[in-house]
Amino acid sequence: MSRSLKFLSISHHQATTTERALFHLSEQEKIDLQEIIPIIFPDVIGLMLLSTCNRMEIYFESTIAHAENLIESLLKFKELNTGDFNKNIFQIGNDTEETLQHLLLVSSGLDSAIKGDFQIISQIKQAYKIAIKNNLQGRFLERAMQTTFRLGKRITNETAFRDGSLSTAYQSLKSIEAHFSKPQLPYKKLLIIGLGDIGKAVIEYLGKFPFQEVYVCNRTISKAEEIAKKHEFKVLPWEEVEKNNVAMFDAIITGVSERADLLHKPVSQPDSNPVWVDLAMPGNIASHLTEKNNQKIINLDHLKSEASKTAAERKKAISEVKKLIELEKGNFLDWFERYQLRHTGDACTI
C-alpha cells in the first residue's frame, strides 16, 4: 500500500455558520490534535490543521489512515455525534492529486467565500509553520506546500486576482459605508475590536474610507497602543468591551478569536442606528442581538452574499488563476511520478 496525501474539509460550501462553529479549532485544540492524531494513527507522517472563519480542514500524509478515520476521531475529540449536524457537511479526499487540487483551490482564494481573499494564504502559511514545528511536514505535504506558495506568488505577479476589493475586511467597511452613506462616514465613530490578522486587514483598507475618528481595542493593550500611535487612532480599554460599554460607537468591526458572544448587550438608545460587523468564528456578537431593531448586525454569511454580487468583476482573472493551478499541479504530479518510480523498491516502507 502506497503513501498518499489526503484531506477532510468543512467549509461554507456545505456548512452553515452554526455548523462550522461546532468544528472550529482553538489554538489549544490545534496543539492537542497535532499530538493526538499521530498517536492514534502512527502511519501519519505529515499533518496540517487549518481553521479559519469559513473552513476547518485537515491535510495529512499517510499509508493506512483515511479521511473517514480522522472524521471519527475528530467527532470524539469535539465530543459530537452525527445528530448534532448535517452529515453531508464533510468533503473528503484520499488521493494525492485530488488533495493537491483542493489545496491549490483553497490557497488561491478561488474556493473562498469571497473570491480572491488574500488572508487565506497567510493562514495556510501559519498552519504549515506549526506542522514544521512539530516535525509533521512529511515529504508529499512539504512538496505540496512548496507548490502552493509558488502558485501564490504567480497569482500575485501574473494576474489581477488579488486586488483585495472583495476581501472580507474590505467588504466589512463597504457594508458600513452602505449603511450610513459615504458622505456621513467622517461623522461616525468606528471601533475595531481585535488586532490579529482580521483587524490588521481592516486597517489596511481604512484609507479608502473617510472615517475621522477610529478606536482600536485589543486584549493586549500594548499592541493596541502601538497600532493606535502608528495610525493616529484612539484606544478603547479591553475592559470596556468586556462590560459592553460600546454604545458611543456608530460602527463596530469585531474579529476576536475564541470569544463567542463577546458583545451581548443591545444598544439602549432609541435614536441610535449603529451597525456591527462580526468577522469572528465563533461569532463575537450574540445571535439574539440580530432580532433588535435599533442596530444592524452583519455576519460572515451576509458578507458572502454581498460579495457574490460583484463576482463577475473577476471572471477573467479567475480563468487565469485556473490555468496557473493546472500548470503547478502538473509540475507536482511530474515530480510525484518520478518519486514513486525511484522508491518502487521501498513500497513496503512508504
Question: 7-65: per-residue pLDDT in tens?
Answer: 999 999 999 988 999 999 999 999 999 999 999 999 999 999 999 989 999 999 999 99
Kindly state the cell numbers that stand for 154: 504567480
For residues 294, 300, 302, 304, the Cα torsion angle rounded to the nearest 10 degrees is 160
Tell me the domain boundaries of the chain: 4-163+314-346, 168-308
Say whether pTM exceeds 0.85. no
CA atoms within 13 A on the CB side of 74: 21
Q: Is a pLDDT exceeding 60 seen at residue 89?
A: yes
Listing DSSP states for 277-328 in one string gives EE--SS-SB-GGGGG-TTSEEE-HHHHHHHHHTTGGGGHHHHHHHHHHHHHH
Flag the least confident range among 89-98, 186-195, 222-231, 258-267. Answer: 258-267
Is it true that 4-163+314-346 and 168-308 share their CATH fold? no
Residue 108 · residue 325 · CB < 8 Å: yes
pLDDT reading at 195 higher than 80: yes
Q: What is the CATH code of the structural domain delimited by 168-308?
A: 3.40.50.720
| H or E element, residue 17 | helix 17-23
Name the fold adopted by 4-163+314-346.
Beta Polymerase; domain 2 (3.30.460)
Structure confidence at residue 338 as a pLDDT band (50, 70, 90): very high
Give kind and range of the element (H or E) at residue 197. helix 197-205
